[in-house]
Structure 1
Amino acid sequence: MFEQDEEIVESLLDNNKNFRRLYNKHCQLKSKVKEANEGSVMIDNLYLEELKKEKLYIKDRLSVIIEDYRHTHT
């Protein structure tokens, strides 16, 4: 996730509590979705779709924060 913005992500993780909280939540959701898709964890399809939607929503919020950072630090 956000490999092309690795330096920005590192800076935000160090300096932005909201970004760090969202990033950690996204990582947790990503792990849950992966486990469900691999069959490691049994999750109801409806619940899995909700997890995916929440993960995408958080990723979009992270992208906005990264874009704002890019505009204010260049």
Structure 2
Amino acid sequence: MFEERSPSEVDSLMKHSVEFRQLYFHHQELDKKVNDAELGVLPLGDMELTQMKREKLAAKERLISMANRIEA
């Protein structure tokens, strides 16, 4: 996530906002769990995986919105 931003920009956003930092790490955790589930390492049902993907997307959208507000 945030491939278009440099690591220093992401670090700056995390230093600027505790909420952004917490949500960023939550998104990272969800991303790892989704990847593990898709590889079969983490046993999840289809409903659980779908819900986790929705939560991950919502976190990403919120992070993008927060980043845009912080930079403005």
Instruction: Check whether TM > 0.5.
Output: yes
Q: Is the 8 A contact 1:29 1:55 kept in 2?
A: yes
Q: Is the 8 A contact 1:8 1:66 kept in 2?
A: no
**What is aligned with 2:50?**
49
2: distance between equivalents of 1:62 and 1:49?
20
The letter for the 2-side match of 1:2 is F
**Match status 1:27 vs 2:28:** yes
**Match status 1:16 vs 2:12:** no
| Structure 1 residue runs without a partner (length 5+) | none
Give the C-alpha shift of residue 4 in structure 1: 1.3
RMSD: 1.0
**What is aligned with 1:63?**
64
2: distance between equivalents of 1:46 and 1:15?
36
Using structure 2 for the length normalisation, give the TM-score. 0.91
Give the C-alpha shift of residue 42 in structure 1: 0.9
| Identical amino acids, percent of aligned pairs | 34
2: distance between equivalents of 1:69 and 1:4?
16
Give the C-alpha shift of residue 46 in structure 1: 0.1
The letter for the 1-side match of 2:51 is E
**What is aligned with 1:2?**
2
The letter for the 2-side match of 1:66 is A
Q: Is the 8 A contact 1:8 1:69 kept in 2?
A: no
* 3-state DSSP of counterpart to 2:66: helix
